[in-house]
Amino acid sequence: MNKSDITRQIKSIAAELGFSFCGISKAGFLEEESPRLEEWLKHGYAGTMNYLNENFDKRLDPRLLVEGAKSVVSLMYNYFPENDLAERADLKIAKYAYGEDYHVVVKDKLKIFLERIREKVGDVSGRAFVDSAPVHEHAWAAKSGLGWVGKNSLLLNRSAGSFFFLAELIIDLELEYDGPIKDYCGTCTACMDACPTDAIVEPYVVDGSKCISYFTIELKDEIPVEQKGKFENWIFGCDICQDVCPWNRFSKSHNEQRFNPHPDLEKMKINNWKEITDEVFQKLFKKSAVKRTKFLGLKRNIEFVTK
């Protein structure tokens, strides 16, 4: 098969496995991103997320992560739920955490993806990534035309909005490459206007250390008292800047059974949350990304928004 045929095969396999979009870029150094990332880190916008300061070079050049890398295959996997629990819930968790941990679900898909490519093409060397290594995924997704990076720093897609996971295969195959698309944010500032903690400090720049998701997931210390009353009842993650984005009117519900919430999650009222035990936590979030904050972390978040 020639380069064109292999590229078509790869995109066809991606669609069969349920990925909404697949775009491909030539592996190399992300020259434009380098000064932006350096500046962002210098401002302290990473907060206590020290891992973002590590592997700076690898984050910008996938050839340092995967020997012989020639292509970055960027993929999009939808997680928009049929029922938005936050619309009726007293306390809210981000939509991406309703069901099973996306790291596991999407990684399972990527393993099959790589196997299928090898079946079609032969010996292919590479690695799969789902938000689990120093891969600048938004930059690669934008470079390969999956969408553009919006003013809230998330990837936006004209037909799917932003409620999706990004994933990558970095492989040693030379393929046909896609290109970026234009920015369709225009003059809209809905995400900036809606953020209750003013985390979007300027268009396209988010101070991660002010984000509700950071406070409720990444921060292990006490939440700063000056943030009291600003969380709008979010206890794990936050969807505010996505919920107000006009492009998310095009979001369609996912077809992934593993992303469906535990039935008891829909029944949780404010008193259930306030009285949650470790046993209930383990049952509700057995395979969920919510386990990242641990039981005591979630209790801290609940107390912060209810006391």
The catalytic residue positions are: 131
Instruction: Kindly give, in sequence order, each residue whose CB lies less than 8 Å from that of residue 45, ignoring residues fewer than 6 positions away.
Output: 205, 206, 207, 208, 209
Mean pLDDT over 5-18 rounds to 97
Residue 70 backbone phi and psi in degrees, to 5: -120, -25
What pLDDT is stored for residue 1 in this prediction?
Answer: 78
Report the C-alpha gap between 303 and 307 in whole angstroms: 6
Residue 90: name the closest of 306, 243, 240 by CA: 306
Residue 148 backbone phi and psi in degrees, to 5: -130, 155
Q: pLDDT digits over 14-61, tens only? A: 999 999 999 999 999 999 999 999 999 999 999 999 998 888 999 999
Residue 262: name the closest of 282, 236, 242 by CA: 282
Q: pLDDT digits over 105-129, tens only? A: 999 999 999 999 999 999 999 999 9
Report the C-alpha gap between 174 and 26 in whole angstroms: 8
Q: Is the dihedral of CA 219, 33, 153, 93 positive or negative?
A: negative
Q: pLDDT digits over 228-283, tens only? A: 999 999 999 999 999 999 999 999 999 999 999 999 999 999 999 999 999 999 99
Instruction: Kindly give, in sequence order, each residue whose CB lies less than 8 Å from that of residue 226, ignoring residues fewer than 6 positions away.
Output: none
List the strands of the sheet with 71-78, edge to edge.
21-26, 71-78, 164-171, 126-129
Give the whole-number percent of the chain exceeding pLDDT 90: 94
Report the C-alpha gap between 172 and 299 in whole angstroms: 46
What pLDDT is stored for residue 132 in this prediction?
Answer: 78
What pLDDT is stored for residue 296 in this prediction?
Answer: 97
Residue 98: name the closest of 277, 210, 256, 302 by CA: 256
